[in-house]
Amino acid sequence: DADVTQTPRNRITKTGKRIMLECSQTKGHDRMYWYRQDPGLGLQLIYYSFDVKDINKGEISDGYSVSRQAQAKFSLSLESAIPNQTALYFCATSDGTTGGYTFGSGTRLTVV
């Protein structure tokens, strides 16, 4: 089993729909992150959480919300999806020491 599992792997949704992307980890790390990748823009931070009671906005949090249900689970929601949220979404975890992250395989989201 992968250390960081993202579901679904691919999703097509319609404009205005609410959608949730899920992430679970078996690394035992406290820190979890959601990043978005767009072609030519690299990885941009959406939200991050340093423990279950700690949730922080990243650089592009507008239009997104998150829930840290447990140490191992961190979900990302798009309340009302719009086409420019079409992107590849990555969840990651870290133990906060040297900065190394473990990433999931990503969710490819298309909003039509």
Applying CB under 8 A, the residues found at the interface with other proteins are 4, 33, 35, 40-45, 48, 58, 90, 92, 96, 98-106
Identify which of residues 15 and 95 has a Cβ nearer to other proteins in the complex. Answer: 95
Identify which of residues 9 and 18 has a Cβ nearer to other proteins in the complex. Answer: 9
CB of 88 to other proteins, least distance (A): 9
CB of 102 to other proteins, least distance (A): 7
Identify which of residues 64 and 90 has a Cβ nearer to other proteins in the complex. Answer: 90
Q: Which SS3 state, helix, strand or coil, does residue 8 take? A: coil
Cβ contacts of residue 79 below 8 Å, gap of 6+? 18, 63, 64, 65
Bin 46: left if φ > 0, else alpha if -120 < ψ < 50, else beta.
alpha
Q: How far is CA 2 from the centre of its chain?
A: 16
CB of 6 to other proteins, least distance (A): 8
Provide the 10 A C-beta neighbour count for residue 69: 11
